[in-house]
Each structure stands twice: as structure tokens, then as C-alpha cells.
Amino acid sequence: MQIITFDFHNTVAHCDPWFELEIRTLPAAVLGRLADANAETLTLGTFDRATELYRALRRDVITTGVEQDAVRGVAQVFTELGIDHDEAALSDIIDLLMRDCLSALSPVPDSVELISTLIDAGIPVGIISSAVHHQFLEWALNRFGILDRLAFVATSASIGHYKSVTTIYEAAYALVDADRSLGVHIGDSPRWDIDTAQRAGLAAVLYEPGRQSAPVEDGFSPDMVLETFENACQPLLDLLERRKAGAVA
């Protein structure tokens, strides 16, 4: 089975508040929601320390490739801070925080149209994203009207591995028994969407809007560079055909 996969953040969707929670401020934001109801005195230093600990956790995830989803990550930070917590309550607060971010959600220009056109052409499309809160992607893609048309939505939270290791791509493609040697992945990160995807056996397309020169990071060689998703369907279909021809040769 041959498929195309897309990254999510800044490839299919823009949502800066969500991304900030994901990579930096989630435990502090949860603390903020708890502060009014919490008998403990939460100082400014506690919020700062929560962010420091979470950043360290995220660096460790990148190094090891083993993901900690949103609830487990916040719970670990709270444990290190010595703050009592209930994971079910944390999950509810995290869901509320993530839902609040939907007001800032917008599609990357022409991304939804491209995905729909590819699917209409008979090409299954999936999403592969490093994201600690899987449901946010489903909410966002549902708002865009394409969730039910996708072959799968795979996140580091659902797969258990970050894009620093090939496992996330291998496991995602295995969800639909897709052949990685025929597959194409599209994303905006040379490191995570090009290098790791290629190491997993995929062709990798760099989405770099407004590109003026060579890819931003040296040492990466995407199989294709797209400055826009407008009229990108045929070049991607051609790349898929070249993948099939190469597999037969």
C-alpha cells in the first residue's frame, strides 16, 4: 500500500498557543488552573520551576526518542515539585487548556485542499506528528473537515516515540500496512520530517514557504521542496510514481 503522510504543525495547521503548551508551558498552565482551588501557596518561582522541569523533560524525550504524553509529562513535573495530583483531574484540565487553543487554529494555506485532492485521486493520506496531546489533532482536523477521510492520525503520544527516532514512522505506516519504500512524507522540519523520515525509508518533501535559497539547515537533502501547496498535487503524484518505478527496477 502506498500512502502520503503530512506533519501537522506549520504543515497542515498553525496554532501557536497549542505549540507553546506542547513544548514549554503546559505544567505551568495546569498549575494556573489549579491555583485558585489549591490550598498550597504557589509562588512565581514554582511556575518558573515547572517550566524548567518540563523543558528538561522535553529535551530528554528528544534524546531518547521515548515520548511522555501530556498527562504523564505534567504528572512527572508535579511529582518533582512535590505537588499532590490526580491524573484524571490533570487530564481534564489539560483537555480544557487544549480546547481553548482551538480559537487560534488556522489551516496552512492550501493544505486542506491538497489533502482532499490527493484523497480524491485515490491516494491514502495520514498525519504523523510529534505531539503530546493526541486529541488536539483530531479536534483540529475535524474542524478542517478531513478527519474522517484520513487513513490515520499518528502522534508521538499515541505511538510512544518522538520524531527523533524512526520508530514513529515505522509504527505509523504499519497501522495501515503501508510500504515505507513507496511512501512520501511532507513536513517543515529538516531534522524531524526530512532526516528521520528518510532514515525510515520514506521519500521526504520539505515544505518551506517563501524559500529564497537552499534549505535552512545544511546537511539535509529533501527529495522535493515545496514553497506552496497550491498546485502541488501533480508533483506529489509524480514522486509517488517514481517511488513505484524505483521499487520495480
Q: Which three cell numbers stand for residue 249?
A: 527496477
pLDDT for 110 beyond 50: yes
Whether residue 141 contacts residue 147, with contact meaning beta carbons closer than 8 Å, is answered with yes
Residue range(s) in the chain whose domain bears CATH number 3.40.50.1000: 4-14+107-248
pLDDT for 216 beyond 70: no
Q: What is the pLDDT of residue 220?
A: 87
Whether residue 211 contacts residue 225, with contact meaning beta carbons closer than 8 Å, is answered with yes
Burial bucket for residue 44 (CB in 10 Å: 0-12, 13-18, 19+): exposed
> 140-186: per-residue pLDDT in tens?
999 999 999 999 999 999 999 999 999 999 999 999 999 999 999 99
Q: What is the pLDDT of residue 210?
A: 75
Q: What is the mean pLDDT of the chain?
A: 94
Q: Which three cell numbers stand for residue 15?
A: 496554532
Q: How confident is the model at residue 248 (pLDDT cuts 50, 70, 90)?
A: low
Q: What is the pLDDT of residue 212?
A: 52
pLDDT for 236 beyond 90: yes
pLDDT for 39 beyond 80: no
Q: Which residue has the cell 482532499?
A: 116
Q: What is the pLDDT of residue 174?
A: 98
* Nearest by Cα to 70 from 155, 1, 10: 155
pLDDT for 129 beyond 50: yes
Whether residue 150 contacts residue 208, with contact meaning beta carbons closer than 8 Å, is answered with no
> 50-63: per-residue pLDDT in tens?
999 999 999 999 99
Whether residue 85 contacts residue 75, with contact meaning beta carbons closer than 8 Å, is answered with yes
C-alpha count within 13 angstroms, C-beta hemisphere, residue 51 = 11
Q: How confident is the model at residue 66 (pLDDT cuts 50, 70, 90)?
A: very high
Which CATH fold would you assign to the domain 4-14+107-248? Rossmann fold (3.40.50)
- H or E stretch at 79: helix 70-81
> Model-level pTM greater than 0.85?
yes
How far apart (Å, rounded) are the C-alpha atoms in residues 19 and 155?
14
Q: What is the pLDDT of residue 202?
A: 98
